[in-house]
Structure 1
Amino acid sequence: MQSDLNVDVLIVGAGAAGLTLAVDLARRGVTFRLIDGLDGPFQGSRGKGIQPRTLEVFEDLGVVDRIAAAGSLYPPQRVYGLDGGFEDTQEFSIAASTDSEPYRMPLLVPQFRTEAVLRDRIIELGGRVEYGVELVSFGDDGDAAVASIAGTDGIQTIRCRYLIGADGGRSFVRRALSVEFPGKTLGVRAIVADIEIDGLDRDVWHRFNAGDMARQISFCPLPHGDVFQLQAPIALGGEADLSVAGLQAFIDERLSMPAIRVRAVHWASAYVMNARLAEHYRVGNVFLIGDAAHIHPPTGGQGLNTSVQDAYNLGWKLAAVLAGAPPVLLDTYEEERRPVAAGMLGLAAGLLDKARHGDMRRGREVHQLDLGYRGSSLAPGMSERTNGIQPGDRMPDSVLRGAAGQPRRLYDLLAGPHWTLLVAGDAGDADVPPRAGVNVVTIDGDGQLRHDNGQLGLAKGERRLVRPDGYVGACFGPGETHAMTDYLSHVLPPYRS
């Protein structure tokens, strides 16, 4: 790291992606500045679905219970027929948690509340968001990025090791890099608005005129208040009146019964749906995360979740390289995350097509628990020693029992900024010297923990490395200490005994 740096990382954009990255960097001791050109926090509900995998991420970041308290489970949907009758359905799959999957149902949390929880966490960790501060220009001299920012104190020049564009679908950072953003406009324009209304109960998500793109409209009750999120497709052309009177007229045009009265509009937006993916996620010392790298239609509730997980993938890698790990480690961010976003674009676009016909159902495919990084350069080879869990896979949770008799969750042991080495067998089988950044956990035999149900799939003597973001890095046998040491040399700062 250069001695003349003002800060390690400059994050541009304080949406969910930028906030998540700031939390992760703060807990790792990385210096950063987080700026946003808006005068204050975003106040809309737009990205309101928090998927199970993202809940696991939020647990590691220390905020999952706050997120859950700020939201609720999704209510059932009441789909009204043209004859005035209705049917109550559940669009989302309902499944109880298991030892290996502690979160199996998405939560309904308005985006502004999710972001508020993350901002509070940043403050607890010693950071803050700087609103009303805009990125004006930037360059890259090879050793660092140099940025000019404008705020109430005038123009400042910041020299940072890395600059992160988390500035949304119209990203200034992406455009300044001349990174192409190919994809397509999906031919659907919609209104989304947070409104107070009279005339509907709050026990269900109300959907009217399903399958009719000219008349569809829905009202989802947002938790802990009296606000509904209105969603409806609208014509591609023309100006949308998003005032109280304008939305009242819009609702009256589409519905005759029940009589719904709009009392207030908290936030509203009209937008055209796109599916686009940046050609590159990295140019030199500048990275793109979140909507700056990919935009999806809202069907499936994938956008915010994919953005959070971009940041979660990048955070530990930035910290490792800043501490002395090989810089090539940062190339794996695009290698791992861009294919995930490509898959999510296809999923969301397919669900949008189903929604057009009024038959959308969202199941496990949107939970993101089955996403992983098999084939990544950080996930070498397939292991014959492991029972189904391969390098690149999400490491499942498990209930263990400590040698002193107390129950322990595996995720409690994985939580934090470190790598974890799971060793199956007696403590003497570990044959691993202590190393900063790697927690060694011995299981079964004379180990510190017992595992009775075999879910971990560990063969005797196996050593499984779990990355800081909860994915399996690699698996090694008892005689492969040299191979394991070599692997760690590519992902950790130099070892100092």
Structure 2
Amino acid sequence: MGLNDVKEAVQHVDVLIAGAGPTGLALGIDLARRGVRALIVERQDRLSPGARGTGLQPRTQEVYDDLGVLEAVQAAGGMFPETAIWENGRIVSRHQMIEHVDPTPSTPYSNGLMIPQWRNVELLHERLQELGGSVLLGTELTAFDQDADTVRAELALPDGGRRTVTARYLVAADGGRSTVRKGLGVGMSGPELEEGSAVLADLRVTGLDRDHWHRWAHPDGGFAMMLPLAHTDLFQTFIGVSTEAPDTSPDAVRALLAARTHLAPEQVTEVHWSSLFRPRAGLADRFRIGRIFLAGDAAHIHSPAGGQGLNTSVQDGYNLGWKLGQVLRHGAPDALLDTYETERRPIAVRILDTSTRLHRSRTMRRGRDLHQLDIGYPDSPLTQELRPDVPEGALRAGYRAPDAPCRTADGAPFRLFDALRGPHFTLLVLGDAEVPPLDDELVRTYRIGGRTPDLLDPDGHIGDAYGSGPGVFLVRPDGYVAVAAPAEGAAGHLAAALEPYRAAGLAGAVR
């Protein structure tokens, strides 16, 4: 979308999103595929540069699979390499800092994927454009107000002009120093992290192999790390320093790296991008105020330890997107949107605790406990577990719906993720449980086994993931089990269980 579009055409949108980072773009993609008219405004005149957050956790890869961007991200990314520890100009030890985990039928994406954030953002933006969405660069949200029906936002345009846009909802994805959060007067508090700073830079370097994640320790307690960025000739460099406001100019970065490593300044042939980094941690007191939502760093700020911040932020947008779609496209009551804060703020608390613990411990090894696959919403008002005596360790309502390789009724290979992919709810019927006919636009039904199956489970992977007995699982558009009910009386159970979802936009789902 160009400047003239804003000046002449855009007066009202369904959703205005402030910020075109991973959070805002992921939300924009989800809304675009739902037919929701959204506008993303970004105060910078280009998409954010710099490698910044480089790790996509397995759960975020599942989100990207659903949003239709994972294949491109996989092609642009790679695995994190082995870490090499340097002393006196030579490698003295090697270890695998990022634990490698074999994929399973239920978890096809089992390892963190390394991709520089600038490339991640580019690919999200390309996917948004494919779906007809848009970002207006060089445009800053400078003021806003709201009433019971509308948000009005004043935009400062690239040519110096101003424009007022009205929207049904506003989502602040405008970073840790969020203009919107401050304008709302929402407080942010969190644990104190020790003072210090670092220089973060993307560099071109000669004389250093690209097979390792290089690390140097310095006698004064400082350190440096250089990560070769997949499918580029750049290294992401993180240099711990003792001063609060270090110089980040190219010559200063060269000198600092030479002081922390065995590399000479002239080996740094280009400083492609650099920035000052100070670790901060904080959590917004509220995630929703009227028609305005806080998401990503505007709602929670994390230490980079453990690679949780970007991933948590993308999943904020993924949680909010389907709920906005239900309200704006399917007549759900506004109260559904209250569950965004109900569900996401406790997750942010948990992730903040984890990243702060890792930051303070200074341990570098990272394992599957950071993959975010065990995040769920069992206590959400949208979750109903209706089966008695569910065995310990079995899939329960509120948790992530696992994948499972299977086959269609005519024998073609299929995955449950193929069934879940898209903006709809998915009803999985195991066996011959009776269920009411549902509107295919809102709920896709797949019968697994039984007399008239849609899917077959010849290798037992669905049974392993969902249980071998008959029953029904209603999966939300964001891939979490909303309702789990026994086969006996399933139609009645499901009709009762759908009541909150009828009020949440599924009123016409049951014919």
Contact 1:82 1:209 in 2 (8 A): no
1:197 maps onto 2:205 in alignment: yes
Letter in structure 1 aligned against 2:307: G
Report the 3-state secondary structure (helix = DSSP H, G, I; strand = E; otherwise coil) of the residue aligned with 1:120: helix
Say whether 1:90 aligns with 2:96. Answer: yes
1:456: which partner in 2?
Answer: 465
Compute the displacement of 1:205 (Å).
0.7
3-state SS, counterpart of residue 455 of structure 1: helix
When the two chains are superposed, the root-mean-square deviation of aligned CA atoms in Å is 2.0
Aligned to 1:429: 434
Letter in 1 for 2:261: L
Shift of 1:243: 2.1
State how far apart, in whole Å, the 1-side matches of 2:412 and 2:260 are.
59
| Partner SS for 2:168 | strand
Aligned to 1:474: 483
Paired AA for residue 504 in structure 2 = V
Aligned to 1:160: 167
Aligned-partner SS, 2:504 = coil
Say whether 1:346 aligns with 2:350.
no
Q: How does 1:52-201 map to 2 (within 5 A)?
A: 52-81=58-87, 84-152=90-158, 154-187=161-194, 188-201=196-209
- Quote the Cα distance in structure 1 between the aligned partners of 2:387 and 2:93: 49
Counterpart Cα distance in 2 of 1:92 and 1:471: 27
2:338 to 331, 342, 363: 331
* Structure 1 partner of 2:4: none
State how far apart, in whole Å, the 2-side matches of 1:290 and 1:133 are: 20
2:212 counterpart of 1:208 = no
Q: Is the 8 A contact 1:199 1:258 kept in 2?
A: no
1:183 deviates by: 1.2
8 Å contact kept, 1:47–1:301? yes
Deviation, structure 1 residue 326: 1.9
The one-letter code sitting in structure 2 at the alignment partner of 1:379 is T
1:490 is matched with 503
Query: Residues 460 and 255 from structure 1, CA distance in 2 versus in 1: closer, same or farther, beyond 3 angstroms?
Result: closer
Aligned counterparts of 2:355 and 2:438: Cα–Cα separation in 1: 46
Amino acid of the residue matched to residue 58 of structure 1? Answer: Y
Residues 327-359 of structure 1 show CA distances to partners (whole Å, capped at 9, x for unaligned) of 11101101111111111111111211232xxx4
The unaligned stretches of length 5 or more in structure 1 are none
- Tell me the TM-score normalized by structure 1: 0.94
Partner deviation per Cα, 1:289-328 (whole Å, 9 max, x = no partner): 0000011111111111111000000000001011311211
Give the deviation of 1:215 after TM superposition.
Answer: 2.4
Q: Per the alignment, in what secondary structure is the counterpart of residue 280 of structure 2? A: strand
Partners of 2:318 and 2:42 lie apart in 1 by 20
Compute the TM-score of the two structures, normalised by the length of structure 2: 0.91
Q: Which ranges in structure 2 are unaligned for 5 or more consecutive residues?
A: 1-9
| Aligned 8 A contact 1:28 1:319 in 2 | yes
Does residue 42 (structure 1) correspond to residue 53 (structure 2)? The answer is no
Distance 1:6 1:258 in 2: 56
One-letter identity of the residue aligned with 1:369:
L
Partner of 2:7: none
Residues 146 and 85 of structure 1: CA distance in aligned 2, closer, same or farther (over 3 Å): closer
Residue 376 of structure 2 corresponds to 372
Identity %: 42
219-228 vs 456-465, which moves further: 456-465
Q: Distance in 2 between matches of 1:433 and 1:109?
A: 40
Whether the aligned pair in 2 keeps the contact of 1:185 and 1:272 (CA below 8 Å) is no
* Aligned 8 A contact 2:254 2:265 in 1: no
Distance of 2:151 and 2:204 partners within structure 1: 45
Give the number of equivalent residue pairs.
488
Q: Which residue identity is paired with 2:475?
A: V
